[in-house]
Structure 1
Amino acid sequence: MTLFRQIYSLLLGLFLVVVVSLAYVQFTETQSFLTKQMESDLNNTSHSLGIMLVPDLEAGDIVGAETLINVIFEGGYYQQVKLTWLIDGKQQVWENSVKIEGVPQWFIDLGFFDTISRESTITSGWLQLAKLEITAHPGFGYNELWRTMTNSIIAISILFLIAIMLARFGLTWILKPLHDIAEHATEVSKRKFGPDLPLPKTTELKSVVSAFNSMSHQLKKIFNSLDEEVTELRKKNLVDQVSGLPNRQYMMARIHSWLSEPNNGALMMAKFDWLEEVHSKYGYQVRDETIRLLAQRLQQQLDEIAPSVIARIAAYEFAFLITSAEQEQSSKYLHTLIRTVNQEMSKAGCKPNEQFAIGIAHRTDSMTVSELLSQTDNALQQAIAENNVFHWFESDEKQLYSKEQWREQLSAAITEKRFQFKWQSVYLNNQTTVLQRELYCQLTIGETEIHAGQFMPYVELLSLGSLLDRCLIESIVDNGIIEKNDEPIAINLTFHSLRDLEFHKWLNQFLRNSHFSQRIVFDIPEAGIYSDPDACQALCAIIRDNGAHFGIDHFGRQFGSMAYLQTLRPSYVKLDQSFAYYDENEHSSELCRALVNVAKGLDIQVIVTGIEEQAQLARFEPLKTEAYMGYISPPEKVLN
C-alpha cells in the first residue's frame, strides 16, 4: 500500500471513530431523554385522569368514565389503559397495537424502549373506587429516535464526503514532493537525470528532497566520469596524438571486424615522404602542424565521398579503409585523396605528385586480414618502384553481377521472399543457457548459394534495406521460425530502415498485431545512432512501446560520447568485434573495461562478440560481461 493510502486510510479511520462516537453519544442521550419524557408524561396523565374519574366512579357512571378515558386514549400516546372497578371487580381495557407509521419494523424490533406502565388506585376519602393502569405507547419515542438517527446519518455522510475530498486534496498537496521524488527516482534508475526537484515548504520533506537532489547529482557525475574515462582511454590508446586520427592499433582491429561483416570496399595505404622534406626544412613542429591540417582536410573531403576510416599507422604512412563502396566509388575516393594531398603539398612548398605513393586493394569474397594487408602493401611497393602516384592491385576475382543485375535479383528475392536463414546462438557465460539467437540470411540464385557478405553491400547501395528488413521480419513469422525455439530472435536492422519513416509505421503496426513481439529483438548499429539520433530514438520508442526489445550492435566502435545510452535505454549492447582482436598486452583492456562499466552502470547487458576460441573468452572473464557469441559457436541452419 502506498504512503498516500496509508495516511488517507488512517485519517478517514480516525474521522469515522470520532463521528461514530459522537453519533453514539447523541443517540443514547436522545434515547434517555425520550424515555424520561414518556415517564413524566405518563405520570402526569395517570395522576390527572385519576382525579377526573372520581365523580363518575362515585356515581357509578360507567358511560361517563368510558367517555373520559376514550378522550385521552384516542390521542395515541398510550398503548393500553386498564380500569378495574373495585366494587364489583369489573375490568375495562383500551388497547392500541404497536404499529408506527414512518418507522421501519426492524428498527422497532430492536427494542430501544422498555414497556413503561403506571398503576394507581383511585380513592374517595378512605374509600377505594378503582385501579387505573396506563401503559405508554412507544411510537412517539421511536418516531423521534428514528428522525434523529436518520438526520445524524445524513449529516455524517455529508461530512464524511467533504472530509474525503478535503483529505485527498490536502494529502495530494502535502505529499506532492514525495510523488515527485518517486517519479524522479524512477527516471534516475533509468539513468535519466533531469533538473533538480524544487524544495517543498515542509521541513522534513525539504531535507529529503535536498538529499535526493544531491544523490542524483552524484550519480550523474559518476556516469559522466565513466563517459569521460572512455573518451580519455580512446585518445590514449587508439588515437594518434599528432594528427588526431585513429592509430594503427585501431585500424587493425577495425579491419578484422570489417572483414567479418557483410560489406564491400577497399583498403588504401599511402606513404607521404614529402612530410620528411617539411621536417628537414622547417622542423618537427611545422611538420606536426602540417600533419594535423592534412588530417583535417582529408576527413572533410573524403567523408563526403564514402564512409571510411582514416588512420595514421606510422610516421609518414596513412591507411584509408573504405567500409562500403564499389570500385567506381573507390576510384572517386582515390582521386579526391590525391587532389587533397596535392593541395596540402603546395601549401607546404612541395611539388605536387611527387614524394608520395598510394597502394589500393579491393575487398574480395572470403578475404582474410593478412591477404588484404599483403595485397595493399604489394600495391604500395609497386607504386613506389614504378614512381607512380598510385597502384591498384588487380584481383583475378570477377564480379558476380553488375549493379543493375543485383537490383533485379534482389528486388525479385525480396518480393518472392526467397531468403534462407541461419542463426547463431548468444550464450550466457555459463556456456549452457542461450540468451538469444541472432539471425542471418542467405540467398540462392540458380544453383549458386550467395551469403549476406556478397549481397548486403548492394542492398545498402541500392537503398533496399527497409524492404529487405520488412521481408525478413515477415518471413520469420510466416515460416514459424519464432515458434521453433523459446529464445528471442535477434534481427539486424539496416541503416536505411533506421531513417525510413514508412518502415517505422509498418513496424509499429506489425508489432502491435503480433503475438510474438516480446520474442523479437532488434540490433541497431552504433554508427546509425551517431548519424541520425532522432530517427533512432523514434524507432526505439516504437519497439519498446510494443513490448519488443532492442540492443546496440558494434558498441564502442565509434569515437563519441556514450550519453545516447541514457536516452535510448537499450536492453543490451554487443561489444564491437574489434575488442576481441586487440593484443592483450596493450592497454585496450582498460578501454574495454571502461565501456563495460558504462553499460553495466546503466543496468544494460553486455554481450561480447567475435569470440573464436576459449582463450579469447577467458580474457573477458574479469570484466564480468553477461554473454558472448562468435564462431566458437558457429551459425546453424534454420529448417523452415
Structure 2
Amino acid sequence: MTLSRLITLLMTLLLLPITVGALAIVAQHNREQWKEQLASHAQDTAIALGLALQPYLAANDLAGAESLVDAIFDGGYYQTILVRAADGSQLIERQANPRPTDVPGWLVAALPLPTPLLGAPIMNGWKQSGMVTVGSHPGYAYRALWLDLWSLGRWFVLGWLASSLLVAAGLRWILASLRTLEDQALRVARLEFTTQKNLPRIRELRRITEALNLLSDKFRGLFSEYSASAESLRELAYRDPLTGLPNARFLQNALAETWETNETRQLMLIQIDGFQALNARLGRANADRILSAAAKTLKRAVKGQSGALLVRLESATFALLAENLGPEPMSRLAACLQAELTDTVASGNGDPPLTACFGICELTDGLTATEALSLADAALRRAQAQGAGLIVSEPRNPQDEQERDLWLKTQLANQTLSLRWQAVADPRRGISLHREAYARLPDADGRLLPAHAFLPFAERNGLQGELDRQVIALVLAELKRADRNGPPCAVNLAAESLADERFVNDLLDALSPRDVGGRLLVETGEAAFLTHRESVGHALKKLRERGVGIGLDRFGRRFADFGYLLDWRPDYLKLDGTLVRRILDDVSGRFYLQSLAHLAHGLNLTLIATQVESEAQQAQLVELGVDGVQGHWVDGLESGGVRSEE
C-alpha cells in the first residue's frame, strides 16, 4: 500500500466515526424536538377543534361536525382524530397510515417518533357534550428529520472530499520529494553519484537530502580514489615515468596481440639524432627536459591517428604502432613527425632543432615481436646511415592495393558478406552469455577472409559505414531466425559509424521489438569511444533507450581515467587482449586485472576476458573475478545452435 492511500484510509477512518457520531447526536436532538412539537401540535389542534365542534354537537348536526373534522384531517398532518359523545360513544373517527412513504425505512426503525393522543373537552355551556382526541402524523417530522440528516451528511461528505483533495495535494508535493530521495538513493546504490541541487522546504526531508548528497559525494570520492589506484598500478607497470608514454613492456603486449587478432599494423621506430652528445654536453637534467618536450611533440602529432600507440623504448628511441595504415600513409605520418620535431628547439644555447631517423616495418603473418622489432631496427639503421629520412623494410606494390580496393568495393556491392560467430561463456555456470558476430568476405578462390584483411581498405575508402550496415542487416536477420530464448547477439561497430547520425537513425528504424529487450548488443572500442565520446555516447544512449545492450571493447588498453564509466554506463566490459595474454606469469598484470574486476563489479558491470587460449588462463581469470571468457578456448562451445568461430 502506498503512503498516500494509507493516509487517505486513516483520514477516512478518523472522519467516519466523527461523522456518524455527529449525525447521531443531531438526529437524537431533532427527534426530541419533533416529539415535543408533535405533542404540542396535537394538543393545540384538539383544543381548537373542541371549540369548533361545540355548536355542531349542540345542534346535533353530526354531518357538519364530520365536514369540519374532514377538512382538518385531509391536510395530512394528523394520524388520528376521534370525536366521542359525553357518554363515551364514538361519533367520528379518522385514522391515517402512520408509516411515511417518502423516507427510508431504516430511519423510521432507527428513530421511532411516538405520536401521543391528546384530547380536549367539547363544552355546551358549562356542560361537557363530548370529547375530541387528536394524534399528529409523524410523516412530516420524519421528512424534515431526513432532510436535515441528508443535508448534514452531504456537507460532511463534501468536507471529506475537500479535505482529501487538500491532503492529496500536500501528499503529492511531499511524495514528489520522497520519490526524488528514493531515486537518488537507488542511484547511489548503482554508484551513480548524483546530488540534488534543489533542497526540499520541509526540514526533515531537507536533512535527508543533504545526507544523501554528502553520501553521494563521499562515494564519488572513494570511487575516484579506487579508480586512480587501479590506474596507478598500471602506470607503474606500463608507463615510462619521464615522458608519460607507454613503455617497452606495453609494446611487447601490443605486438603479441597483433598476431593473436591477425590485425594489419605498421611499426615505426623513431630515433632522435645526436641525443647522446646532447646529454653529455648539457647534462642529464637538461637532456631529460628536452626528451620530455620531444615526447610531447610526438604525442601531439599522432593524437588524431585512430588506434595509434606511441611508446618510449629507451633513451631517445620511440616506437609507433599504428592500426590499418598502409606504407604510404605511414610515410606521410613520419614526414609530419619530422616536421614537428624540427620545430622543437633542443636548448636555449643556440643548438639546432631536433631531427630524427625513422624505420618502418609492416607486421605480416608469421613475424614474432622480436622479429618485427629487428626489421624496424634494421630500417632505422639504414636511415641513420643516410643521415636522415625513413626506410620501409618491405615496400608494397601500389597496384596490389588498388586491386584490393576494387575487390572490396565489388564484394560490398554484391553483398557477399557473411558472419562467423564466437561464443562468450560464463565459466562458472557453464552457459553462454552471448555470441559475437565477425565479418567475412570471400577472396578470388572462395576462401573467407577475416575482417583484419579488408578493414584497412574499408577505412581508406570510406566504406566502414557500408560494411557496418551490411553486418547489422545480417545480425538482425539472424535474430529473427534464432530462438527468442537463445543467447543475445553482439556486433562491434566502428566509432565512425556510431558518430554518423544518419547511420544511427537507419539502425533505429531497422530495429523491431524482437531485436530489443537484451537480444541485440552493440559494442565499440574504448579508444574510439574516448576519441568520439560526445557523438558516440549520444548514439549509444539512443540505442539503450530502445532496449539495445551496450558493451565496451578493448577495455583497459589506454591510459585513461575510468571516471567516465560513472557517466556512461555500458552493460559489460571486454578486457583488451594485452591484459590477458601474459596473465599467468605477470604478477603486476594480475593485480591490475583484479582491480579492474572490483571496479567493474562495483558499477554492476559484467567483465569479460578476450583471447583466452587455455584452461589455465581461464582458471586464473575466474580467480581474479572475471565473469565471462571469449577466445579459442571456448571455440568448442555451442551457442544457440551456431558453432563459435574466430
TM-score range, shorter-chain basis?
A: 0.7 to 0.9
Partners in 1 of 2:305 and 2:550 — Cα distance?
Answer: 31
TM-score, scaled relative to structure 1: 0.88
> Could you tell me whether the CA contact under 8 Å between 1:434 and 1:487 is conserved in 2?
yes
1:455 aligns with 2:454: yes
Partners in 1 of 2:13 and 2:406 — Cα distance?
Answer: 77
1:607 aligns with 2:582: no
Q: Residues 111, 265 of structure 1: CA spacing in aligned structure 2 closer, same or farther, 3 A cutoff?
A: same
> Residue in 1 aligned with 2:117?
118
Q: CA deviation at 1:489?
A: 0.6
> Could you tell me whether the CA contact under 8 Å between 1:84 and 1:90 is conserved in 2?
yes
Q: CA deviation at 1:553?
A: 0.9
> Residue in 1 aligned with 2:192?
192
> Residue in 1 aligned with 2:505?
505
Residue identity opposite 1:470 in structure 2: R
Residue identity opposite 2:422 in structure 1: Q
5 Å matches for 1:64-143? 64-83=64-83, 89=89, 92-96=92-96, 103=102, 112-114=111-113, 116-118=115-117, 120=119, 122=121, 132=132, 134-143=134-143
Residue identity opposite 2:433 in structure 1: L
5 Å matches for 1:150-189? 150-189=150-189
SS in structure 1 of the partner of residue 418 of structure 2 = strand
> Residue in 2 aligned with 1:440?
438
Q: CA deviation at 1:144?
A: 0.9
> Could you tell me whether the CA contact under 8 Å between 1:422 and 1:440 is conserved in 2?
yes
Name stretches of at least 5 consecutive residues in structure 2 with no aligned partner: none
Judge which range, 489-498 or 462-471, deviates more.
Answer: 462-471
Partners in 2 of 1:221 and 1:43 — Cα distance?
Answer: 92
Partners in 2 of 1:55 and 1:353 — Cα distance?
Answer: 147
1:7 aligns with 2:10: no
Judge which range, 360-369 or 208-217, deviates more.
Answer: 360-369
5 Å matches for 1:297-376? 297-304=297-304, 307-341=307-341, 358-365=358-365, 369=369, 371-376=371-376
> Could you tell me whether the CA contact under 8 Å between 2:265 and 2:362 is conserved in 1?
yes
Residue identity opposite 1:334 in structure 2: A
Deviation by residue 1:440-463 (Cα, 9 ceiling, x = unmatched): 121124423221111122222222
Q: CA deviation at 1:224?
A: 1.4
Q: CA deviation at 1:293?
A: 1.1
Judge which range, 49-58 or 427-436, deviates more.
Answer: 49-58
Q: CA deviation at 1:221?
A: 0.9
Q: Residues 629, 510 of structure 1: CA spacing in aligned structure 2 closer, same or farther, 3 A cutoff?
A: same
Residue identity opposite 1:462 in structure 2: N
Partners in 1 of 2:350 and 2:633 — Cα distance?
Answer: 54
Partners in 1 of 2:532 and 2:29 — Cα distance?
Answer: 79
Q: Residues 3, 87 of structure 1: CA spacing in aligned structure 2 closer, same or farther, 3 A cutoff?
A: closer
1:593 aligns with 2:607: no
Q: CA deviation at 1:407?
A: 4.7
Deviation by residue 1:93-148 (Cα, 9 ceiling, x = unmatched): 334457868x4666777674445241658576999866655443232123212321
SS in structure 2 of the partner of residue 574 of structure 1 = strand
Partners in 2 of 1:593 and 1:444 — Cα distance?
Answer: 41
Partners in 2 of 1:249 and 1:141 — Cα distance?
Answer: 105
SS in structure 2 of the partner of residue 204 of structure 1 = helix
1:616 aligns with 2:640: no
> Could you tell me whether the CA contact under 8 Å between 2:380 and 2:390 is conserved in 1?
yes
SS in structure 1 of the partner of residue 255 of structure 2 = helix
Q: Residues 367, 129 of structure 1: CA spacing in aligned structure 2 closer, same or farther, 3 A cutoff?
A: farther
Q: Provide the identity percentage.
A: 25
Partners in 1 of 2:465 and 2:130 — Cα distance?
Answer: 114
SS in structure 1 of the partner of residue 117 of structure 2 = strand
SS in structure 1 of the partner of residue 524 of structure 2 = strand
Deviation by residue 1:26-82 (Cα, 9 ceiling, x = unmatched): 233333432332233224334543454455445543123213312321322013434
Partners in 1 of 2:14 and 2:366 — Cα distance?
Answer: 80
Q: CA deviation at 1:414?
A: 3.8
Deviation by residue 1:460-517 (Cα, 9 ceiling, x = unmatched): 2222222222222222333456624611111101122121010121122223x33221
> Residue in 2 aligned with 1:421?
419
> Could you tell me whether the CA contact under 8 Å between 1:421 and 1:442 is conserved in 2?
yes
> Could you tell me whether the CA contact under 8 Å between 1:79 and 1:135 is conserved in 2?
yes
5 Å matches for 1:558-569? 558-569=558-569
Q: CA deviation at 1:88?
A: 8.6
> Could you tell me whether the CA contact under 8 Å between 1:115 and 1:135 is conserved in 2?
no
Judge which range, 595-604 or 91-100, deviates more.
Answer: 91-100
> Could you tell me whether the CA contact under 8 Å between 1:35 and 1:113 is conserved in 2?
no
Partners in 2 of 1:398 and 1:577 — Cα distance?
Answer: 32
Judge which range, 48-57 or 137-146, deviates more.
Answer: 48-57
> Residue in 2 aligned with 1:286?
286
1:633 aligns with 2:634: yes
> Could you tell me whether the CA contact under 8 Å between 2:327 and 2:392 is conserved in 1?
no
> Residue in 1 aligned with 2:222?
222
Judge which range, 68-77 or 303-312, deviates more.
Answer: 303-312
Q: Residues 477, 109 of structure 1: CA spacing in aligned structure 2 closer, same or farther, 3 A cutoff?
A: farther
Partners in 2 of 1:382 and 1:91 — Cα distance?
Answer: 152
Q: CA deviation at 1:175?
A: 4.9
Q: Residues 482, 16 of structure 1: CA spacing in aligned structure 2 closer, same or farther, 3 A cutoff?
A: farther
Partners in 2 of 1:366 and 1:499 — Cα distance?
Answer: 35
Partners in 1 of 2:375 and 2:410 — Cα distance?
Answer: 36
SS in structure 1 of the partner of residue 26 of structure 2 = helix
Partners in 2 of 1:104 and 1:415 — Cα distance?
Answer: 89
Q: Residues 170, 346 of structure 1: CA spacing in aligned structure 2 closer, same or farther, 3 A cutoff?
A: closer
Q: Residues 370, 23 of structure 1: CA spacing in aligned structure 2 closer, same or farther, 3 A cutoff?
A: farther
Q: Residues 146, 312 of structure 1: CA spacing in aligned structure 2 closer, same or farther, 3 A cutoff?
A: same
Q: CA deviation at 1:384?
A: 6.5
Q: Residues 209, 430 of structure 1: CA spacing in aligned structure 2 closer, same or farther, 3 A cutoff?
A: same
Q: Residues 472, 35 of structure 1: CA spacing in aligned structure 2 closer, same or farther, 3 A cutoff?
A: farther
Partners in 2 of 1:516 and 1:286 — Cα distance?
Answer: 61
> Residue in 2 aligned with 1:477?
476
Residue identity opposite 2:464 in structure 1: G
> Residue in 2 aligned with 1:573?
573
TM-score, scaled relative to structure 2: 0.87
Q: Residues 603, 307 of structure 1: CA spacing in aligned structure 2 closer, same or farther, 3 A cutoff?
A: closer
> Residue in 2 aligned with 1:26?
26
Deviation by residue 1:335-369 (Cα, 9 ceiling, x = unmatched): 33444556658669888999x75432213357554
Partners in 1 of 2:222 and 2:176 — Cα distance?
Answer: 28
RMSD: 3.5
> Could you tell me whether the CA contact under 8 Å between 1:476 and 1:482 is conserved in 2?
no
Q: Residues 367, 421 of structure 1: CA spacing in aligned structure 2 closer, same or farther, 3 A cutoff?
A: farther
Q: CA deviation at 1:408?
A: 4.4
Residue identity opposite 1:222 in structure 2: L
Q: CA deviation at 1:209?
A: 2.6
Q: Residues 110, 510 of structure 1: CA spacing in aligned structure 2 closer, same or farther, 3 A cutoff?
A: farther
> Could you tell me whether the CA contact under 8 Å between 2:441 and 2:450 is conserved in 1?
yes
Q: CA deviation at 1:310?
A: 1.0
Q: Residues 352, 4 of structure 1: CA spacing in aligned structure 2 closer, same or farther, 3 A cutoff?
A: same
Q: CA deviation at 1:399?
A: 8.4
Q: Residues 408, 12 of structure 1: CA spacing in aligned structure 2 closer, same or farther, 3 A cutoff?
A: farther
Partners in 1 of 2:3 and 2:197 — Cα distance?
Answer: 20
SS in structure 2 of the partner of residue 424 of structure 1 = strand
Judge which range, 516-525 or 469-478, deviates more.
Answer: 469-478
> Could you tell me whether the CA contact under 8 Å between 2:240 and 2:247 is conserved in 1?
yes
Q: Residues 620, 349 of structure 1: CA spacing in aligned structure 2 closer, same or farther, 3 A cutoff?
A: farther
Partners in 2 of 1:294 and 1:138 — Cα distance?
Answer: 113
SS in structure 1 of the partner of residue 632 of structure 2 = coil
> Could you tell me whether the CA contact under 8 Å between 1:117 and 1:133 is conserved in 2?
no
Judge which range, 499-508 or 357-366, deviates more.
Answer: 357-366
> Residue in 2 aligned with 1:467?
466
Q: Residues 145, 121 of structure 1: CA spacing in aligned structure 2 closer, same or farther, 3 A cutoff?
A: closer
> Could you tell me whether the CA contact under 8 Å between 1:306 and 1:333 is conserved in 2?
no
